[in-house]
A and B are shown apart, each in its own frame.
Chain A
Amino acid sequence: MRKKRTACLLLLPLFAAAALSLLACGSVLAQSLGVIPAFGLEEPTLDYYRDALTSPAFHSALLVSLRVALLSALAAALLGTVLCAALVRVCRARGAMVSLIRLPILVPHTVTALFAILLLSQTGLVSRCAWALGLIDDPGQFPQLLFTPGCGGTILAYLWKEVPFVAYFTLALMAGVSATLGEAAENLGASPLRSFLTVTLPLSLPAVSQAFLIIFLFAFGGYELPLLLGATVPKALPVYAHLAYMHPDLRQRPAAMALYGVILLLSAAMAALYGLLTRRLLRKIGGGR
């Protein structure tokens, strides 16, 4: 009984934080419906949502965010799994290599953007090396990787951070599976590749797909990287929404809040999907409780 009470007490700050963020979400939704009494806006209306959903700029922003999220999550899941398998194989998921891959995870996104600009911009380090080697004679000849409408720079920067994340996230499970069932398969005569593909990989998939969804959600709502490495147009959805929020006319605030409302609802839907998928996957491999 006492234990329970202590646990509840310890959870109180968490509840407070959750209540506060719910309050904030509520305030965003209220404002997105056009209710800001301080500026003389009192009638609730869905007009702001209609305007947002029918604007071409919103469509392209949504597409950019989905594109960045999908491509970086897919590529990160794929490369991260390969990296993880290599780590398990080569150093048994221990040692300096594992510490090394934790580094990019710890680096903040703004710093990652700075790295990308320093390295990959047309006057960046790579371009300067190419110039020194006589491969190009003008910064303009170096391929434009950053600030392109295709978001190559943003996706590359996400990959640099998220490939190690997927590897790290999957490492414990995959190392466990590989050391037990994987080795059993090999003892029974399976080749290492076959043992990996038919035993270790399928059993590690829940972790990989969870990592995929985390990255997808994060990149979809991410602001810093698309802001710093994205094109002037089309902008990623969070950047577009922030721009609308910065509109000097405060009575335009509901229009911005409607954009945040859309992001909020889409993220909530994806989080629900994440919960559903995880539960199903767990049940499939018999790990659900």
Chain B
Amino acid sequence: MKKLAALLLALLMALSLTACSGKDEQAEKLDLSAASWDQIVDAAKGTTVTFYGWGGDEDRNNWLANVGAPYMKEHYGITLEVVGMNIDEILAKLAGEKEAGAAAGSIDMIWINGENFYSAKENGLLYGAFLDKLPNTEAYIDTQDPETLNDFCMPIEGYEAPYGRAQLVLFNDSAVTPEAPSSAQELLSYCRQYPGKVTYPALPDFTGSAFVRNIIYELCGWEQFQTMEADYETVKEAIAPALDYLRSLNPYLWNEGRTFPDSSTTVDAMFTDGELVLAMSYSPYGVAVGIENGVYTPTTRTFLFENGTIGNTNYMSIAFNSPNPAGALVVINAMISAGLQLSQYEKLRNLPVVSPEKLSAGEKAAFEAVDMGEGILTQEELLTHRLPEMPAKLVPVIEEIWLNEVVGK
């Protein structure tokens, strides 16, 4: 019912926005597809850009408030308003606005990727192709990189610009468990050795879902999934060995695999509490940050599977009814510059999206000079063990199969 209230509110807001959008429209008469970059920057001056995205990462929120927003104000006279909201709620809000037929919405930029990008693009909730328009695409981004071309196998076609990169890593405390399992088989014997002390977040948690996909890659390879149909039975047959494996893992897991923790945050808390001996993360440098903050012991270390782990990019896109697309373009362009990517690398330990080949010698040196901290893998180790994502539409199917075939079995 809360959702419903949110939808209704969104509807009301959409209505009220249409009522007062006259002024914005005048400022927005500029035809973006024909305008030059200078004209776009001019039009964006003095405007406000709203950036909607997941607000659960305090460090990123602080970075946006203390580095990102002041940068936009100083260089472009743009006020960046960051709104923390879960992606499903953002899409529900956009869908509500679309249903209400609101011409000018309330969202400019969205932090998005994967199945949500797939759904938003399929349902016409995005602004359209804009990547080519940005000068920094040419200057810093490898436009032939698979992750610039496809997001979870969905052709991007310029509908979103890369923001940061993630990769699944495992970590444990070498003082508690000297072993660092580097394959699915080693993980099984590890779980046998520490019964009840290993688990993973219940799907559809992002990290738990990526972990299960990674197990599937370990046992079934990754190539066959790139073109697979999102049909329940087809997928179930293809991942049968992985399902067997996950079921064989269950007796040795926390609570014997009858229940799984609700989120990666919970798994993390259980790991720091000593209730678990292994945890996993989508932030490959997260352990370094944790050691610095005293959350993890100094002997905590990151590792991954020999055959590689899943990596994906997260992106910035523009809403179909963005009241200020010119402003959004300017902000996104700034976000993919070497300067702000370096700042994110430094402050957030975020894998950057800029292509090393396109960086100047000075910029390259600045990236290399960053002290990344303890307990982590090098960027090279990560990137050489990086596997592509599955097609977005397979993800919910696998999540459903996992619920039916693995939990408590």
Q: Which residues of A contact B (CB under 8 A)?
A: 20, 23-24, 27-28, 36-39, 57, 122-123, 139-140, 144, 147-149, 221, 223, 227-228, 231-233, 242-243, 245-251, 253, 260
Contact = CB atoms under 8 A, between A and B. Distances in A.
B4 A28 contact: yes
Nearest to B408: A233
Interface string B166-210: 000000000000000000000000000000110000101000000
Nearest to B256: A144
Contacts of A242: 3
Contacts of A140: 196-197
Contact of A38 (B7, B99, B119, B407): B99
B408 A149 contact: yes
Nearest to B409: A233
A231 B396 contact: no
27 contacts: A24-B4, A24-B7, A38-B95, A38-B99, A57-B404, A122-B275, A123-B270, A139-B274, A139-B275, A144-B255, A144-B259, A147-B259, A148-B258, A149-B258, A232-B202, A232-B262, A232-B403, A232-B408, A242-B3, A248-B115, A249-B122, A249-B393, A250-B95, A250-B122, A250-B125, A251-B123, A260-B4
A19 to B, nearest CB: 11
Contacts of A24: 4-5, 7-8
Interface size class of B (residues with CB under 8 A): 35 or more
A148 B259 contact: yes
B408 A250 contact: no
A223 B275 CA distance: 27
A248 B403 contact: no
A233 B250 CA distance: 14
Q: Is the interface of B mostly helix, strand, loop or mixed?
A: helix
B262 A228 contact: yes
B407 A233 contact: yes
B88 A248 contact: yes
A173 B274 CA distance: 51
Contacts of A122: 275
B196 A249 contact: no
What are the nearest 9 A-B pairs in CB distance? A248-B115, A38-B99, A147-B259, A246-B88, A232-B202, A38-B98, A248-B119, A140-B196, A232-B260
B342 interface: no
Contacts of B403: 57, 232-233
Given A24-B8, A37-B99, A245 B3 contact: yes
B4 A250 contact: no
Nearest to B196: A140
- Residue among A28, A247, A251 with the most chain B CB within 10 A? A247
A249 B115 contact: yes
